[in-house]
Amino acid sequence: MSKGEVVASFVVPVHPHTVLAPDQNAGWRRLRDAYDQAAQTIKDLEADLIIVYSTTWPSIIGHQIQADPNPEWVMVDHDFHDLGSIHYSFNIDQEFAHGWNKANHQRGLQSRCVNYKGFPIDVGSVVALTLLNPDNNIPAVIVSSNMYANRSETTVLAKSCLDMIKAQGRRAVAVTAMSLSNRMFTDFIDPSEDKIHSLKDDEWNRKILEFLEEGRLEDVGQLSRTIHQQIRVQKVVAFKPMWWLSAMNGNRNNLTGKVLAYEPIHGAGGAVVSLDPTPSGAGDKEYDEDDVEHYQGERGVLDTSSADSSPEASTGPATPPSATANPLASPSGQGPALWDPTNAEGSVNTEAAPKPVGAYPHARQVGNMLYLSGVGPRQPGTNAIPGGPIHDVEGQPLDYDVKAQTRAVVANIQRIVEEAGARMDQVVDVTTFLIDMKRDFSGYNEVWAETLGRYGPTRTTLAIDALPTPIAVEMKVIVHLGE
């Protein structure tokens, strides 16, 4: 099995002209030829998966992933119905779609697969797959563009896709079906009269293409909001595809880019651009936004009263006001059920720490000693695991970041310690459990030195077989409260 990677990326136009009317206009023909060239490149690369992020498939409830193994129908464009109909029959990788969906959940995203006969596949996806995969030899997957998604949500969507590409060892091609400037003429035109809607749109398009030709994909991603204000009609879905495509390529500025064609389609900017992951000259970034691993944004709209706002928990039994033994729901669809902390004399519990996975408190005080239950990295409220879970719901190993997990453990310890009215410098003894000593000790040790190590508690580190949730590190802590 290969290591799993994105072997090429493409930006492609969405309107049906390249399929249905390439010979009505010389520019549409050049776009079509560029599409055909891209299809040949994909074939030559021996790619085994085409992933389409389509701006013409808006969604509201998180992201939707097409999972019908053979969607077949006839697509007629809402505007350009007089150009004709596109009959499609695609080869969708159902297994990848479901895996990606699960990976999304693990990274805190709302997401679902759709597998319904007659589902109306959007024009951008139909055009892209019809032309990039004409023989249907390469399995494909299509994802929607969420109306409300911000950069972090869109970035995490790409990272969970990469999780799956790596887990399955795929040679994937990433495609964004999109216009550059998307302002069309609002009246009917003769095909021979087509041009970019305005000089300003044309200039911005050329600037974007100049960046892409230099391989500066992340710069285009970070300028997306500006681009959106400048040359995008404020349609349902904003200019998000470059966030996704850049994250699919490791948020880099040193790709090898090539503009295969740039032409107007009824006034909008249509371009076929190829982005080869091979590093080229450029490299520095215009500026840096957070590199987010987990989506922790707007969640739990339906159930604001519950401390645990994961969708599973929102339909579970309500949290009782007093802390009793009461399992809630499993964290992010993985691991055991969550419990409210118990509350015997001397117990210390806090909403700011993750819910227990059994009947025990976060900590318990006896005299001037405070004993903490084992603390992991799960996030209070969302149960997301910073640095990622160690495996998916089916037990397939995932690439996780032990340093991020260790930092999250220490942050959870601090919340519990402070809830008890104590300080971190009163921590006197720590026992750490690692599930993979060989892989993780040095990363964990580095974070330890920057955090707990500064306060000087004694420490014991053990390798163990497993922890109850998909985490790599847990700590058992004893605090001396002083007089």
Partner 1 sequence: MGQGKIVAGCLAPHPPHLVYAENPPQNEPVAEGGWEQLRWGYERLRASLSHLEYDAIVLLSPHWQTYVGTHFLGLPHFEGLSVDPVFPNLFRYTYDMSVDVDLARAIHDEAEAAGLPVKMMENPDFRVDYGTITTGHLFNPDWDKPLVVISSNRSTAYYSVEVMQEIMVELGKVTRKAIEASGKKVVVLASNSLSHRHFTTESDLPEDMSKEHITSHAMHLWDMRIIEYMRSGQAQRILDEMPEFTEQAIAESDGGGLSWLLSTLDVPDYPAILHGYGTIIGTGNAVVEWPCYAHEEGSQ
Alpha-carbon distance of 120 to 99, in angstroms, equals 22
Q: Is 117 in the site for partner 1 (CB under 8 A)?
A: yes
Q: Identify the three-state secondary structure at position 333.
A: helix
Nearer to partner 1, 81 or 200 (CB): 81
Count, residues in the chain: 483
Which residue among 45, 61, 369, 449 contacts partner 1 (CB under 8 A)?
Answer: 61
Q: Is 76 in the site for partner 1 (CB under 8 A)?
A: yes
Q: Identify the three-state secondary structure at position 65.
A: strand
- Taking the complex as a whole, the smallest distance from the CB of residue 301 to partner 1 amounts, in Å, to 4
| Number of helices followed by number of strands (H, E) in the chain | 12, 16
Packing angle between helix 151-168 and helix 241-248, nearest 10 degrees? 40
Alpha-carbon distance of 71 to 119, in angstroms, equals 8
- Taking the complex as a whole, the smallest distance from the CB of residue 228 to partner 1 amounts, in Å, to 12
Say if residues 339 and 356 touch (Cβ distance below 8 Å).
yes
Binding mask 311-330 for partner 1 (x = CB under 8 A): xx-xx---------------
Sole window of 59-67, 275-283, 409-417, 455-463 interacting with partner 1 (rule: CB under 8 A): 59-67
Q: Which stretches of 133-276 are DSSP H helices?
A: 151-168, 199-213, 217-222, 224-231, 241-248
Which residue among 1, 199, 301, 366 contacts partner 1 (CB under 8 A)?
Answer: 301
Sole window of 24-32, 112-120, 131-139, 376-384 interacting with partner 1 (rule: CB under 8 A): 112-120
Say if residues 165 and 8 touch (Cβ distance below 8 Å).
no
Nearer to partner 1, 114 or 352 (CB): 114
Sole window of 58-66, 385-393, 411-419, 440-448 interacting with partner 1 (rule: CB under 8 A): 58-66
Residue 431 sits at the vertex; the CA angle it makes with 430 and 432, to the nearest 5 degrees, is: 115
Token pair belonging to 306: 């519950």
Token pair belonging to 56: 């013409």
Nearer to partner 1, 123 or 242 (CB): 123
Binding mask 367-406 for partner 1 (x = CB under 8 A): ----------------------------------------
Q: Is 192 in the site for partner 1 (CB under 8 A)?
A: no
Alpha-carbon distance of 114 to 254, in angstroms, equals 35
Q: Is 145 in the site for partner 1 (CB under 8 A)?
A: no
| Contacting positions for partner 1 (CB under 8 A) | 57-62, 74, 76, 78-82, 84-85, 110, 112, 114, 116-120, 122, 146-148, 183-188, 233-235, 266, 298-303, 311-312, 314-315
